[in-house]
Structure 1
Amino acid sequence: MFKILKRPLFIIPAVLIIGGTGLWFVRSNKPVQYETVTANRRDLVQEVSVTGHVEPTESVDLAFERSGKIASVPVAVGAVVTVGQVLAGLDTSQIVAQLAQSVAALESSRAQLAQYQAAADAQSAKLAELKRGTRPEELAIAQADVTSAQSVLADAQDSLTKVQQKADVDLNNLYSGVSDVLNDAYAKSQDAVTKQTDPMFESDSSASPVLSFTTSNTQARYDAENGRASATTQLAQFLQETQASTASTAQLDAAMHSVANHLNFFLSFLTSVSNALNAATSLSSTDLATYKANINTARTNVTSALTSINTRIQTIDSQRAINDSATTAAQASISSAEHTLASAQAQLALKQAGSTSEQIAAQQAAFSQAQASVASQRAQIKQAEAGVQTIQTQLNSSFIKAPFPGLVTKQDAKIGQIVAQNAPLVSLISASAFKITANIAEADIAKIKVGNHGKVTLDAYGSDVLFQASVTAIDPAETVIDGVPTYTTTFLFDVNDERIKSGMTANIDIETDRRTGVIAVPQRAVQRDDGTGTVRLFKNGAAVPAQVTVGLKGSDGFIEIVNGISEGDAVITAESK
């Protein structure tokens, strides 16, 4: 049994060696199999693919150039506006009044210049007459001029009287209602303090009133109780002022300003009570709601009274300014008429007395003085024109206007809001023209130049919807992103399309170069080295290396062969056994 098993131990290795040697011999003699392509002519396109974002070609944040109270907001977010359209406006009532007053003063100055110029012309003519000598008919004319100047002066004096009378009437009309305004303010203040807040205090008429409820806001409690004690004194003073304010306009003015202070105090007192109510801990919901309603009623009434007082003060001040301007103009007319009369009388006297060398010299001086008055008045006109221009500039700065046609993307302006100067409120972007900005790596930027065209797809619409765009700008300064230098490149859509929206993600394939009808092979068939390369041609059943010069690398996987092979050559791309 042992002998039978021992023999196969020597036979098995020998069989394995013979079998392996035969398999190697068979495989080593199997021919190499090559995969080839034919070198053909084709069109190559080189593209750079980048991703960017759609932006408006123009965008701006707008603000008022001065502070003020917003009076109008004619457009909302999403509105399409034209260039120059008003987007928001401030209250301009005071500026408009100032402008009207400045324009009136300018017109008055111009009228006075005309008068001064006329006087200067008269002095010039008189000087000429003195030098020429007096004739009888000239004496008659001079006398007529004096008579006319006297009439003009009388008319100017009468006009001043009428202007002053009208000014007094206008002011008296305004002051006649002041007492009613003061009494109304007192009534509303008394109602607010003694009626509306009465349930909220104990011993409210004493020197130490106490809140009738508990509150966790100790400061508000302190302010409210002290305010109620002071309110009693303030009401007493208020009543005395309204009863003693009927003697003169000065007393009425003082009373109105004092009453305004009282009303502001009452508003502060009501605020303290409101703060205490907001932290009340011992009131039922019904009582709390009633007390809060009382406070709101009191506030509304006192605020209304304060508005009436302030409005009346502003109206009176405005009327005084108008009266002063009219009186000044009337007085200027009298001065001019007096000047004209004096000139006419002097001219008549000269003509009657005849001309002497001294008179001629004096008239020469008078003429020079008249010319100086004209020059001075012209300087005043320039100053008045500058004042009008300044106020006009302030009026223009009261409006935010669209600097270009576009779409409103932000509108934070609210009517009644008090805004600061240069605080951005409105944002505007161009409505139709959009651009794409993308950061292109330094490896690709050298291929791109201004004017290159590209195909664009937007993520919002998928790859089937194509848009066309062109390179319009390349930032010369690099932007480093994740340690890689990139260059911000701007594209402009060739055609405006309403589907394009700001902020969309854009994918751009930029055509950077093109070759038509060139010999090309797959890039994997070429071993490249600095513009040259090597390919293997399949000739006579064997691989033959060939040196080639390569050109444009296409985006489809093919590369241009400038020279080294011919059209129709079989180029090896892979091999196997």
Structure 2
Amino acid sequence: MAVYSKKVLISLAGIGLLAGGILGTLFAKKGGDQASLVAVSRSSVSEVVTLTGQVKALEEVELAFEKTGKVAAIRTVVGKRVAAGEELVRQDSEETYAGFLEAKASLKAAEAKFSELRRGTRLEEIAVEEVKVRNGETALQDSKQALVESVRDAYSKADDAVRNKADQFFSNPRSANPELNFFVYNPELKNSLINGRVILEKKLSDFEAPLPTLTVSNITSMIFLSKETLSLIGFFLNDLSRVVNALSPSPTVSQNTIDGWKADIAAARTNVGTASSNLLSAESAVRGEESALTLAKQQLALSLAGSSPEEIAAEEAAVEQASAKVFNYEVQFAKMTIRAPLAGVVTKIGPHVGEITPAGEIVVTIMSEGAYEIEANVPEVDIGRVKVGDIVSITIDAYSGEIFGGVVALVDPAETIIDGVVNFKVTIRFIGETRPMKSGLTANVQIKTAEKQNVLTLPDVAIIENDEGTFVKQIINGKEVEVPVTLGLRGAEGKVEITAGLKEGDQVLLVGLKTK
């Protein structure tokens, strides 16, 4: 929307009409060679700022979900009038409901445990905790042994990937000076592969050396070496894959051979990736079993020690925490349903049933009925004259010829940049009776920023403004003389206030000239 603002000065055509009207009603020419005169008179002067804006609903809300989710139901349509609190759109809540049930179960468990603590620990319960500790120790030992096997498997896959599948492309691959068996156009890639093979030989040797004596007790130092070696092999195979994938059949190398090479490299990369994943999973399992064992030991210690007042208070807090979790799910349920915050009309619905709506994306827009306002942008050169409470004259393009009343209700304190120009948004409220409005209608507004009654005025076309100052021309002793004057308000109707230099009834020439 193009937005503009200017002081309302009478147009050249309007000036001509005004001058003609003044000449026709107040003065007469003698013989066609006498200059036209106009007398200083008292009248009112109004200064306005003219803008173009848009009609908007007095209250319009854009509603969105706080979390991403799938739309399960839409209970309204565009154009429907809705009441405050009415359900509009609902997200799928099955997963949240499952969490809610789990939270309720946790709450019941916490309440039961709280009651148990208050009752005290039974011998049977202590025996159960002791079994948990023993089981935890066994599980931890098993997970550590599985980690040892994962390291051994990682070496096996790493050795196969490099010394079997990759070395078929090298001469003297395990030496300090391996060479590729085919030409590589990219010298950097070639050097990377050769240097990588040398480095991997050292890494594989370091990896292999401690394997015969590898046990649960000395596994820790091997984990980092395993990860590092697998990572280096992954980069190495990526580079080698680029080279092999770029090969073309030749008299010495058939397409079947190239396809076999590609399959070997792909298998090696898959095996190395699997080894890395298995190693991480085994390491994570050890940490999990360590945590579980620690927890079991702590629980046994608690059972043996009995319940202290502090522990009872802590379990009571756990009940409250579980209760809060249940409440949190109830809140989440509420947030998964968008309800109308006000009575109005639905003007926009974004998604369809089954679509995923991102968090914060506008889903429904509701506009209040019956009350509208106008938003317009005032350039910074005029904003100093506009203030809250200024009276506004409004015309709507859709209602040609009709004039509505309004008042400036808000002037934004922060600027709005439009096409690189600083503007300030103002909000105008209708006053008095209006016609039926629609959001988006174009509104032409004139903000009355100042008005003076019964002041000395002249037509704008009687004023001369140049680098030397502001003047009018009077006939004094038969000669045209420039008389300096001081101006006040410039009115929208082409009048200018004279604050000094002339008195009521003084006549001046209607020069119709501005040289400034």
Q: TM-score, normalised by structure 2?
A: 0.50
The aligned runs of 1:241-252 (5 Å cut-off) are none
Contact 1:450–1:474, Cα closer than 8 Å, also in 2: no
Tell me, which stretches of 5 or more residues in structure 1 are unaligned?
1-29, 124-364
Aligned twin of 2:46 = 45
Contact 1:453–1:471, Cα closer than 8 Å, also in 2: no
The aligned runs of 1:381-392 (5 Å cut-off) are 381-392=319-330
Q: Shift in Å at residue 520 of structure 1?
A: 0.4
SS at match of 1:75: coil
Contact 1:409–1:429, Cα closer than 8 Å, also in 2: yes
Aligned twin of 1:491 = 427
SS at match of 1:460: helix
User: Which structure has the highest helix share of the two?
Assistant: 1
Aligned twin of 1:71 = 72
Contact 2:408–2:428, Cα closer than 8 Å, also in 1: yes
Provide the C-alpha distance between the structure 1 equivalents of 2:33 and 2:435, rounded to a whole number of angstroms.
Answer: 61
In the alignment, is residue 396 of structure 1 matched against residue 397 of structure 2? no
Q: Shift in Å at residue 388 of structure 1?
A: 1.1
Q: Shift in Å at residue 57 of structure 1?
A: 4.8
Contact 1:70–1:90, Cα closer than 8 Å, also in 2: yes
Aligned twin of 2:366 = 428
CA shift digits 1:379-409 (9 cap, x unpaired): 4313312431342233123212334554321
CA shift digits 1:261-319 (9 cap, x unpaired): xxxxxxxxxxxxxxxxxxxxxxxxxxxxxxxxxxxxxxxxxxxxxxxxxxxxxxxxxxx
Tell me, which stretches of 5 or more residues in structure 2 are unaligned?
1-30, 122-302
In the alignment, is residue 419 of structure 1 matched against residue 356 of structure 2? yes
2:307 to 360, 369, 378: 369
- State the identity %: 29
The aligned runs of 1:20-419 (5 Å cut-off) are 32-93=33-94, 95-96=96-97, 98-100=99-101, 102-103=103-104, 105-107=106-108, 109-110=110-111, 113-114=114-115, 116-117=117-118, 119=119, 369=307, 371=309, 374-415=312-353, 417-419=354-356
Provide the C-alpha distance between the structure 2 equivalents of 1:453 and 1:85, rounded to a whole number of angstroms.
Answer: 38
Q: Shift in Å at residue 50 of structure 1?
A: 1.5
Q: Shift in Å at residue 552 of structure 1?
A: 1.0
In the alignment, is residue 438 of structure 1 matched against residue 439 of structure 2? no
SS at match of 1:499: coil
Q: Which of 1 and 2 has greater Rg? A: 1
Aligned residues: CA RMSD: 3.7
Q: Shift in Å at residue 543 of structure 1?
A: 4.1
SS at match of 2:386: coil
1:457 to 395, 407, 425: 395
Q: Shift in Å at residue 77 of structure 1?
A: 0.9
Q: Which amino acid aligns with 2:455?
A: V
Contact 2:379–2:422, Cα closer than 8 Å, also in 1: yes
Provide the C-alpha distance between the structure 2 equivalents of 1:379 and 1:98, rounded to a whole number of angstroms.
Answer: 21
CA shift digits 1:94-140 (9 cap, x unpaired): 544543453354245336535644x48xx9xxxxxxxxxxxxxxxxx
- More divergent stretch after superposition (462-471 vs 506-515): 462-471
Provide the C-alpha distance between the structure 2 equivalents of 1:531 and 1:433, rounded to a whole number of angstroms.
Answer: 52
Aligned twin of 1:517 = 454
Q: Which amino acid aligns with 1:88?
A: V
Provide the C-alpha distance between the structure 2 equivalents of 1:75 and 1:455, rounded to a whole number of angstroms.
Answer: 38
Provide the C-alpha distance between the structure 1 equivalents of 2:97 and 2:340, rounded to a whole number of angstroms.
Answer: 22
SS at match of 1:33: coil
SS at match of 2:35: strand
1:559 to 493, 496, 504: 496
SS at match of 2:104: helix
CA shift digits 1:402-445 (9 cap, x unpaired): 34554321124444x14243254322344454333333345434
SS at match of 2:438: coil
Q: TM-score, normalised by structure 1?
A: 0.45
Provide the C-alpha distance between the structure 1 equivalents of 2:104 and 2:375, rounded to a whole number of angstroms.
Answer: 51
Contact 2:372–2:430, Cα closer than 8 Å, also in 1: no
Provide the C-alpha distance between the structure 2 equivalents of 1:530 and 1:102, rounded to a whole number of angstroms.
Answer: 82
Q: Which amino acid aligns with 1:49?
A: T
Q: Shift in Å at residue 459 of structure 1?
A: 0.4
Q: Which amino acid aligns with 2:66?
A: E
CA shift digits 1:23-51 (9 cap, x unpaired): xxxxxxx8941322221111100112111
- More divergent stretch after superposition (73-82 vs 365-374): 365-374
Provide closer, same or farther for how the CA distance between residues 43 and 531 of structure 1 changes in structure 2, counting only shifts above 3 A. Answer: farther
